[in-house]
Copies of this chain bind each other. A is one copy, B any other.
């Protein structure tokens, strides 16, 4: 049963009105007694949920250029409310980013990476999980980000200053491959601020549905692109949709695309077959393999399969091989196919244009620039040079050493919470960590946070607000984990 929205809003509005927003006086209490902060987290639960709902509901769909400005403004307001003293919108050739700092007068400074993707925010009961918030952005990443802000609110409400200063950069284009994020991060004032930080952290919901946590020491790179086959560009086939009976004498841009696509992968669709694409892909080291083997013993294969609705891994490989593939193999994936008539039933046309939307995942030492060049050269060599390759975004892989202070702090906080984290060499997904971990900054960068959510980018994306499972943290428990993490890094 979903919470009635009006009732919920009335409740949270009342809760918010009751709060005074004090300045943050230094306090004489022991700064590592976090109990008063945890009390504030619980008191401000409804406020935190309400903030998250407002944020998720704000559409900011970079691909459709819809609502991104409003999404940026709202994110900036939420940051100011959470105590950031300087919050600046950073224009780019695409959607704007955000640069924000919070000077707590602390000896250390932590970098934060935020993103503000779209959409919607229904509160629903989900059997076995508890009350969850559903909508695009719920777990990836507004849920964890808003919960981190809730942690800052709680610290302030408890009369404390944060134990760290913060430098935050945010972008609105992560889901289309962060094409303009380097423009934002590489501005001189942002680089200057980032040179002072101990590392970069992105709030996340690291718990699986069974409560287990996985730390990843990096991420694959990615290329998102459209392959466009058209009669205009090909010089064969029609320049507009024509009656399908003409197939007997007219070339088909749709078949041309299908034939080109079929050359990009092995016949089972599983191994990239782009010439030279994976030449620089680095195999897992012995220690990385050991990490994966340990992870495979500790992670539950059945849970992973059930959560994705998958009965078999590719080639029916074992669980450890599936994990090895996940962290070490470059991929070529079809995100979408669209061409000609796409409505119900059929329509007797020979379409003049067809499009495949692909994403390619890259591992060290592949780079986005070299991989894109390999794709284009591969197509050209096989007579598909006319097919447009429109890269909409992408970036290089990112890696952080397992012995970085930020990672050690993560492990420490998880262990104190009774969780022995699984550690993997990298996540199969992508985030533009390379702007921090690569030249010139060479910062450690990674995700942290208790809590659980799933379905990033899928219609049923959710983030757990109130957990039914004692092993899985709800929003308040997640906020507590951020507080503990900040104090751990400050102590470090």
Q: Which residues of A contact B (CB under 8 A)?
A: 62-64, 175-177, 220, 222, 224-226, 231, 235-252, 254-259, 261-262, 265, 267-270, 308-314, 317, 322-323, 325-329, 331-352, 354, 357, 359, 361, 392-393, 427-430, 456-460
Knowing A336-B341, A428-B245, say if A314 contacts B259 (CB, 8 Å): no
Q: Are A248 and B340 in contact (CB under 8 A)?
A: no
Q: In the assembly, what is the distance between CA of A334 and CA of B344, in Å? A: 15
Can you give 30 A-B contacts (C-beta < 8 A)? A63-B343, A63-B345, A175-B348, A220-B245, A242-B458, A243-B458, A244-B331, A244-B333, A244-B361, A246-B310, A246-B428, A249-B314, A250-B314, A251-B314, A258-B337, A259-B269, A261-B262, A333-B350, A335-B347, A335-B350, A336-B339, A336-B342, A336-B349, A337-B340, A342-B342, A346-B357, A346-B359, A347-B357, A347-B457, A348-B359
Complex partner residue of A334 from B243, B250, B255, B322, CB under 8 angstroms: B255
Q: In the assembly, what is the distance between CA of A171 and CA of B68, in Å? A: 49
Within the complex, the shortest CB–CB distance from A395 to chain B, in Å, comes to 13
Complex partner residue of A338 from B175, B245, B328, B342, CB under 8 angstroms: B342
Complex partner residue of A351 from B224, B245, B336, B430, CB under 8 angstroms: B336
Within the complex, the shortest CB–CB distance from A183 to chain B, in Å, comes to 18
B residues near A222, Cβ cutoff 8 Å: 348
Interface class of chain A by DSSP: mixed
Complex partner residue of A258 from B225, B258, B458, CB under 8 angstroms: B258
Number of copies of chain A assembled together: 2
* Beta-carbon nearest neighbor of A334 in chain B: B254
Listed residue (A258, A313, A339) with the most chain B CB atoms within 10 angstroms of its CB: A258
Q: In the assembly, what is the distance between CA of A177 and CA of B346, in Å? A: 9
Q: Are B63 and A347 in contact (CB under 8 A)?
A: yes
Q: In the assembly, what is the distance between CA of A341 and CA of B267, in Å? A: 23
Within the complex, the shortest CB–CB distance from A341 to chain B, in Å, comes to 4
Q: Are A331 and B430 in contact (CB under 8 A)?
A: no
Q: In the assembly, what is the distance between CA of A346 and CA of B222, in Å? A: 12
* Beta-carbon nearest neighbor of A258 in chain B: B261
Minimum-distance CB pairs A-B, first 3 = A255-B269, A63-B345, A239-B309
Complex partner residue of A337 from B339, B393, B456, CB under 8 angstroms: B339
